[in-house]
Structure 1
């Protein structure tokens, strides 16, 4: 044996395209991705929980009445 043992190869995370924070548009941080900080992450969570991101739905009352008949 000549001592040519294989060394473990370090795995490198693939580089992803730099994406701005969706809240404040600053560069995102790896540990908070896709946000730049815990503050922006919390702002986004608050928006979800308060219903700010709800999709507006228009109820068609006439169609609903026809379906009941």
Structure 2
């Protein structure tokens, strides 16, 4: 059985790169792009949205 190469766009530079175990930086194309992305997280450029908690409600009602 022949397996086709799965190509994905690098999240940082958008170049196509093979997504495989041989690519140590997957889904990135290089260590540089991987570190740029890590720096963006460390700089808080990315954030996971959170819902503000209403302090007037008991804890069991805020979930």
TM-score band by shorter chain is 0.5 to 0.7
How many residue pairs match? The answer is 53
Query: More helix per residue: 1 or 2?
Result: 1
1:18 and 1:27 map into 2 onto residues whose CA distance is 6
Q: TM-score, normalization: structure 1?
A: 0.56
TM-score with structure 2 setting the length: 0.60
Q: Which structure carries more strand by proportion?
A: 2
Which entry has the higher C-alpha Rg, 1 or 2?
Answer: 1
**CA RMSD across the alignment:** 2.3
The answer to which structure, 1 or 2, has the higher relative contact order (CA under 8 A, 6+ apart) is 2
